[in-house]
Amino acid sequence: MMNNRELSWLVFNDRVLQEAQDKSVPLMQRLRFLGIFSNNQDEFIKVRVAKLIRLGQLRGLKPSQQAKRREAVEVLPQLYARMAESQEKFDATYNSILAEMAQAGINVVNETKLTEEQQKFCLDYYSSVVSERMVPFLVRKTTKMPFLSDGAIYLGVKMTGETPKSTRYAIVQIPVSSACPRFVELPPSAPGRRDIIYLDDIIRLCLHEIFFMFKYDSISAHTLRVVRDAQIDMDDDISKSLMEKMEEGIVNRNYGDPVRIIYDKEMPEDLLSLIVTKLTAKKGHGPSLDPGRRYHLKRDLMKFPRVRPDLEEKLPAPLRHPLIKPFASILEVVSGRDIMLHFPYHTFNHVIDFLREAAIDPKVESIFITLYRTAEHSKVINALIGAAKNGKNVTVVMELLARFDEGQNIEYADILQRAGVRVIDGVAGLKVHCKLILVERRERGGTRGYAYVGTGNFNESTAKIYSDFGLLTCRREIVADARGVFDFISSHRPLECRELLVAPYNMRSSFEKLIEDEIKNAKKGKEAYIKAKFNSLTDEDMINLLYKASRAGVKISLIVRGACCLQPGVPGQSENIRVISIIDIYLEHARMAIFCAGGREKIYIMSADWMTRNLSRRIEVGTPVYDEEIRGQLRKVFELQWNDNVKARDMEVFGANNYSSGNGGSEKCRSQLALHEFYKKAAEEEKEESAK
């Protein structure tokens, strides 16, 4: 029994929506969860729904492929129905939050509710900030309509004249940018109030200025946006580099087929019909129509002005790892013992400092790193440039196919190359998704390696809200395997690993053997269990093996944040499997696995989920954890999360998203706050120990 991947993902996004509905969550954070939900759904439509539409349109398939096509055709109506249901909940939640915000003195007003002072402010703001960015264009039945970009918001404008023939139509793009934000704070209409207006409504107020040259009896504007297929298609010209193909592919993606048109349901029928006709390229293959509300692209709610800090989630400050002292050498600490960093509880600055120290240390000869998603103004990139300028041999494996970050990665690759860094743009046919650093340093007449194996991106921005592990070690076997991974990527040398689990080579088979060993032990009457944490669990072979383990009596505890195709609690199949999902202020991104192994636990962290793409089509790296103190740390992390009875949901009833009772105790456990206290206490104990 397998849950459909796409439906399971929508069930996950409904858990995000639950956070917006939860009145125990600070008010403005609830608004931001609406933005997260909207952003998630946009990407889902552009990627997963678009892929199913393409699959459903294919003809002449082999019998083995026809089943997938049938499944795509059958599931699409279910996805649309689920999304429509979620959208209704979203709209109701949005209106409820706006009402609560108004009670708190934060008012979102439109152009019809402005005071005289606010009207003047909006007119001045349009003139000084917005007008220079405006590019309105007329839409006629007899002319080609300019291209409507994915990710942009538009106003469809109708200028009604005295006769039908004198009616005109136009489209205006809402020019949202960092310099022209979606939300604008207005002068207060009363003492103690904070009034906010959508940029959309400032433009509505100024329509008469934009179209002053036309005569009309009335003018109206309604929002619309186009969601396009996000697939990148690259040509097979062997004379072009991957970077050149990617640059062209990104441009072409902006012109992908429209998958969905979302529009204000109050839009006049004649205007909507004209726009749809212009956007429908092939008969029968037009985009789906989604009637919505006045405002679209609600992902911008994530950037709503922080006008009331007291109504925001108060995040604890990241902690310094107790073994990494201020102004002390991280290389020296790691030379003596392993260090496990857990973000965002520990500061990501430790990773930056590790690279900066390696960049300037005279004994460091080379630095290798894999990059998938980096920050906009990346300190990691700056550290690597500094290393190259200091004469180090720096090799960066830059994955150009990181979806929606391709453009930034191409730009960084160019900057690094110009600084003297050797940039490798991935491996043909495989995405490089592992999170790996290797520093090689001259010591005692030889070379010693220092490795970092992580679960999350080298991105100081997302590290503030993504929960991830990172192991710093100089264990010889792990270092040698890390070098082997970089050698394979750079020169395709055969890969042989003694310690690291590397997909698509030995990771799947290693996990399969670990599960089979638990099955053997369970059949012998020995203790057998598996505890694992993933973003997603969708690989059919791994799920079937977990079902087999459950039938053999292996106790399986899984924490899965996102899509989960495994159905727990089914008699005769998965009654020994329990799955929970945690959605909270931090995005649970860390992956780990614990196997009983006959009482000699084997513990791993890894960059891979148990998804087919991760285990078979990407280069992923997992590492065993040997340090006993760190092993205890990881056990505690899993225990606290497994006992979460505030933010955890039980996945036994598919689609229900019922909150979990944790371990059944009466004491409340919100695992993310509990983890911060756990690490804070560890830091205090280390400080006291050092003071003795």
pLDDT tens, 13-25? Answer: 999 999 999 999 9
Of the two residues 523 and 280, the one the predictor is more confident about is 523
The Cα-based distances of 581 to 536, 539, 637 in angstroms read: 10, 18, 14
pLDDT at position 255 over 70: no
601, 631 in Cβ contact below 8 A? yes
Instruction: Looking at 346-426, list the stretches that DSSP marks H as alpha helix, in order from N- to C-terminal side.
Output: 349-360, 379-389, 406-418
Reported as a single tens digit per residue, the pLDDT across 446-461 is: 999 999 999 999 999 9
**Same domain, residue pair 610 and 654:** yes
3-state helix, strand, coil in the chain (%, to 5): 40, 25, 35
- Domain CATH code at residue 223: 3.30.1840.10
**pLDDT tens digits for range 128-187:** 999 999 999 999 888 888 888 887 999 999 999 888 888 999 999 999 998 999 999 999
Same domain, 653 and 593: yes
Total domains present in the chain: 4
* Residue 286: per-residue pLDDT: 60
Q: How many CB atoms lie within 10 A of CB 123?
A: 15
The reply to whether 492 and 512 lie within a common domain is no
At 415-456, the pLDDT tens digits run 999 999 999 988 888 999 999 999 999 998 799 999 999 999
- 319: in domain: no
Asked if residue 393 has pLDDT above 70, the reply is: yes
Residue 254 pLDDT > 50: no
Indicate whether 325 belongs to any domain.
Answer: no
User: What Cα–Cα distance (Å) separates residue 632 from each residue in 334, 451, 601, 639, 649?
Assistant: 18, 21, 11, 10, 25
Does residue 243 register a pLDDT over 70? Answer: no
pLDDT for res 240: 45
The mean per-residue pLDDT over the stretch 64-92 comes to: 89
What is the domain-level CATH number for residue 21? 1.20.58.310
In terms of domains, do 122 and 265 share one?
yes
pLDDT of amino acid 492: 81
Q: Residue 237's pLDDT is what? A: 44
241 pLDDT band, cuts 50/70/90, is very low
End-of-domain residue from the set 498, 527, 544: 498
> Are residues 514 and 661 located together in one domain of the fold?
yes
523: in domain = yes
Window from 52-66, 126-140, 146-160, 326-340 with minimum mean pLDDT: 52-66
Q: For residue 89, is pLDDT > 70?
A: yes
The reply to whether 350 belongs to the active site is: no
pLDDT of 29 higher than 60: yes
pLDDT band at 687 (very low <50, low <70, confident <90, very high): confident
Give the per-residue pLDDT at 285.
55
Lowest mean pLDDT across 295-309, 540-554, 597-611:
295-309
List, for residues 259-274, the tens digit of each pLDDT value. 788 899 999 999 999 9
Grade residue 1 by pLDDT with cuts at 50, 70 and 90: confident
Co-location of 492 and 393 in the same domain: yes
Contact assessment for residue 256 and residue 53, using Cβ atoms and an 8 Å cutoff: no
CB count in 10 Å sphere of residue 269:
7
Note the pLDDT of residue 202.
98
Closest CA to 16 of 640, 642, 649, 653: 649
| Per-residue pLDDT at 234 exceeds 50 | no
Instruction: Identify the active-site residue in 346, 350, 433, 676.
Output: 433
Q: For residue 360, what are the domain limits?
A: 333-498
Residue 328 lies in a domain: no
Flag whether the pTM goes above 0.75. yes
Which residue did the predictor score with more confidence, 667 or 242?
667
Query: Is 320 contained in some domain?
Result: no
Q: Read off the pLDDT of each residue in 335-350 and give the average, rounded to a whole number.
A: 98
pLDDT at 37: 97
Distance CA 27, CA 102 (A): 11
Q: Do 470 and 547 belong to one domain?
A: no
Asked if 224 and 138 touch (Cβ cutoff 8 Å), the reply is no
- 49, 82, 104: which is the final residue of a domain? 104
Q: Are residues 269 and 412 in the same domain?
A: no
Looking at the structure, do residues 522 and 619 belong to the same domain, yes or no? yes
Residue range 462-502, pLDDT digits in tens: 999 999 999 999 999 999 999 999 999 998 888 999 999 99
Is the same domain home to 236 and 168?
A: yes
- Domain containing residue 652: CATH number: 3.30.870.10
In a domain, 322, yes or no: no
What is the pLDDT of the chain when averaged over all its residues?
Answer: 91
340 and 485 belong to one structural domain: yes
Residues 56, 119 share a domain:
no
Residue 231, pLDDT above cutoff 90: no
**Residue 258, domain member (yes or no):** yes
Q: What is the pLDDT of residue 445?
A: 79
> Last residue of a domain, which of 477, 498, 519?
498
Between 374 and 287, residue with greater pLDDT: 374
Q: Is the pLDDT of residue 602 over 50?
A: yes
pLDDT of residue 249: 47
Residue 323 lies in a domain: no
